[in-house]
A and B are shown apart, each in its own frame.
Chain A
Amino acid sequence: NAGVTQTPKFQVLKTGQSMTLQCAQDMNHEYMSWYRQDPGMGLRLIHYSVGAGITDQGEVPNGYNVSRSTTEDFPLRLLSAAPSQTSVYFCASSYSIRDSASYEQYFGPGTRLTVT
């Protein structure tokens, strides 16, 4: 198993540009999520999904869109990049959280995004 993969590893955008960060997992996990981590800070939840076709907002959803058309993929779209979105973005997945309170998540390696 490759686990959770993210592409690209690094990205530089100009203010106002849009782009999609890719996330895929091959563990048949139902739950997937996106976090951002600013330098020296903890992780903040952007969006999450409890299964294909179901998404919901996290703590800091503004400026980001997500979709979940398949179990494996959970792309994060930046609509109009701003310098405040410079951060490291982590995708994570987990077995179903719906029926339990277990929160063991598997994280990808991250995408380092700089917006100038």
Chain B
Amino acid sequence: LAKTTQPISMDSYEGQEVNITCSHNNIATNDYITWYQQFPSQGPRFIIQGYKTKVTNEVASLFIPADRKSSTLSLPRVSLSDTAVYYCLVGDRAGGFKTIFGAGTRLFVKA
């Protein structure tokens, strides 16, 4: 199983750029890296997904080095509303199509 490791929590201030790094040493060749955001009392919401190099959308950027053993979610100029838990997932195709969520990173944005 392709497991992920993320920091348990991070603090930031409004207007700063936040980078959350995820380690996934056992990523398989065909696996994608996906990030979700979860607010309290809500289901997770898809943020961004990538396979290699860099992906950018209107919400975030995802940086993936050549060896793909880690990835970094970058949130530009965070606001208070970005306070949430962020999950990094790596696709698990071993024996099925299970998707495994780790403990996530709790980001707290301060004014």
Contacts and interface: CB of A to CB of B under 8 A. Distances in A.
B101 A35 contact: yes
Contacts of B104: 42
A101 B43 contact: no
Contacts of B89: 103
Contacts of A110: 41-43
B77 interface: no
Interface in A62-114: 90, 92, 97-98, 101-110
Contacts of A48: 96-99
A115 B90 CA distance: 33
Contacts of A103: 32, 34, 49, 89, 91, 99
Contacts of B34: 102-104
Interface in B13-72: 28, 30-32, 34, 36, 41-46, 49
A41 interface: yes
Interface residues of B, number: 27
A105 B46 contact: yes
Nearest to A88: B41
B52 to A, nearest CB: 12
A4 B97 CA distance: 20
17 contacts: A35-B101, A41-B103, A43-B87, A43-B101, A45-B99, A45-B100, A56-B96, A56-B98, A58-B98, A92-B44, A102-B32, A102-B49, A103-B91, A104-B46, A109-B42, A109-B43, A110-B41
Interface of B: 28, 30-32, 34, 36, 41-46, 49, 85, 87, 89, 91, 93, 96-104
Those 5 A-B pairs whose CB atoms lie nearest each other, nearest first = A107-B43, A43-B101, A101-B91, A42-B103, A101-B30
